[in-house]
Amino acid sequence: MKEDNMKIYLGADHAGFTLKEKVKKYFDKNKIDYVDMSKKKVDSDDYPDVAFKLGERVSAEKVKGILFCGSGSGVAIAVNKVKGIRAASAYDEETAKLSREHGDSNILTLSGWKTNSARAKKIVDVWLNTKFSNIERHKRRIKKIEEYENANV
């Protein structure tokens, strides 16, 4: 199912909550360990709150996370401000795969408005099961990102 026995952190704002709950059921069925960092369902909240909280845990523990919001973009923008995070929004299996192979993404973001549960499960499966390619040009590019991030903290 996934490349190791690491737990996955999950988080959502109000607009991504329903899709996150469906992914949690899928994880339960497939015995994938996760920690839900979301508030209980609320009518409105601010996506940066859960994104920062989840991003800090993923960065500190060197694990993976999945964030959900209305567009998938809001949480991606917010969580990419956390040092050590390489979050990617995926809208299909190919973008999920490339985000892991080329960018070694450690957080996946999904749109609660535009991603149905069947597609989300496929995207998540591909993302969890794809390893970083370790191709030199991809390692070089990630190193440049890390160097910039470290120089500008």
> Model's pTM, two decimal places?
0.94
Which residues are the active-site residues?
A: 69, 102
Tell me: pLDDT of 133 over 90.
yes
Structural domain 8-151, CATH architecture: 3-Layer(aba) Sandwich (3.40)
Tell which phi-psi region holds residue 114, choosing left (phi > 0), alpha (psi between -120 and 50) or beta: alpha
Give the tens place of pLDDT for each residue, 67-113. Answer: 999 999 999 999 999 999 999 999 999 999 999 999 999 999 999 99
Distance between CA atoms of residues 70 and 114, nearest Å: 8
